[in-house]
Structure 1
Amino acid sequence: MAFERVPAVRTFPSYRGQRNCPGLRYAATVDRHVGFESWLEHDAVMALNYEADVVGCASQPFWLF
């Protein structure tokens, strides 16, 4: 299975007074929404979506131990 098709390993919490900005951004590259937790991640997802060489992107696809 392609890594961009697996669900995220954890959720993106949101609450009042939060300092970061979690959300979802539609990525035509993978034809689905990709999660982000900051404006930096949002901008990275947006930039990857316009790169011709990119074939997939995902948010939090696996744990690193």
Structure 2
Amino acid sequence: MEIAVLTFLLIIAAFFLITVGMLLLFLHSLREGGKVEGGGVLVIGPFPIVFGTNQRIARDLMVITLIFMIA
């Protein structure tokens, strides 16, 4: 099998798995109800801007960002 065909099939499989995972999470939250939490990091130059829906999310993102910036 050519490498281009294999690459294409892996990309299609990845999109399929991501879509199925998102659909399962959505259906689970509809049945169980749920609390949505989230956050993000915006890095402008050497300065990260961290935001989150609560302090735990923001703290976790700061730690992850620090690890990525050091590595």
Q: TM-score, normalised by structure 1?
A: 0.28
Larger RCO (CA within 8 A; separation ≥ 6): 1
**Bigger proportion of residues as helix:** 2
Q: In terms of Rg, which structure is larger?
A: 2
